[in-house]
Amino acid sequence: MDRNTNDVIRADMIRLIPEIRNFAKRFSNNPNDVDDLVQETLLRGLANLDKFQPGTRIRSWLFTILRNSFCTRYQRSVREAPGREDCVSLQSSVPPAQEWAIRMQEFNRAVANLSPEHRGAFDAVLVDGDSYEAAAKRCGCPVGTIKSRVNRARLVLAQQTSGAT
């Protein structure tokens, strides 16, 4: 297209802005979204003037651009809901190792502070993975005593490690 044709098309685009705005209002009640759609339509129209075929209606061409822009925005918003808490961009790429190292030190200190009976039952059942019966045989006491010791050890550890933070 020659320069004169481009100038005529641009003048028609400017003349059609109120109609484009009214058409955009069908897609959104939010004035900011309407303004964004109109602006995007005009920018895409100007960027693609070489694709406009003279002799066709520029109004229809711009309305098609606006509708396609809206559909693209809508599908993008469905795929990428803003502000979601499980958004990947909010997750750290590498978990902070130092926090877990400190927690492990606190846990090891709490285990070391257990009485020998509680620590033995705790180690047998929760660390070594023995059944209560096997742990009872290993410690030389009844199964109920092992269950009680493991439960008390859990309570003491929970209190000591939650109180450290």
Determine the pLDDT at residue 95: 63
User: Does the pLDDT at position 80 exceed 80?
Assistant: no
Query: What does the pLDDT read at residue 60?
Result: 92
Q: pLDDT tens digit string along 106-136?
A: 888 888 888 988 988 988 898 888 899 999 9
Q: What pLDDT is stored for residue 102 in this prediction?
A: 84
Average pLDDT of the residues in 54-69: 90
Longest dimension (CA), the chain: 102
Q: Cα 51 to the chain's mean position, in Å? A: 39
Residue 62 pLDDT > 70, yes or no?
yes
pLDDT score recorded for residue 20: 93
Among 53-57, 84-88, 97-101, 112-116, whose mean pLDDT is lowest? 84-88
The rounded distance, in Å, linking the Cα atoms of 13 and 7 is 10
